[in-house]
Structure 1
Amino acid sequence: MGFSAIPPRNDQAVAIQAIDIWSRRADAAIISLEPPWAELLAGTDPATLVRVVQLPLATYYRSKGHELWIYLDPGNGLNRAGESDPLAAAGHSLTEPAVQMLGTAPMVFSRASRRTSPTSRSSRSSEGGWTSLSLGAIVSSQDAQRRYIVRHMELLDRASAIGVFQLTFTDLDLPALSLPADSILPLFAYNGLVDANLQPKPALSAWDEAFGRPLASRALY
Structure 2
Amino acid sequence: MTGFPAQAVAGAVIAATGLMIVTAAGGFDLSIGAVAVLCGAVSARLATCMPVILAVTVPIGLGVACGLINGLLAHRWPPFLVTFGMLAAAQAITAWLPENSAVAVAPIVTCAVAAGIAVGAHVVLAHTVWGFHVSFVGSNEDAAGHAGVDVARLRLWTYVVSGGLASVAGVTTAPPGNGLSLQVAAIGAVLLGGTTLKGGRGTVAATVLGAVAAGTALAAAHEWFR
**TM-score (norm. length: structure 2):** 0.28
Which fold has the larger relative contact order, with Cα–Cα distance below 8 Å and residues 6 or more apart in sequence?
2
Larger radius of gyration: 1
Query: Higher strand share goes to which structure?
Result: 1
**TM-score (norm. length: structure 1):** 0.29
Query: Higher helix share goes to which structure?
Result: 2
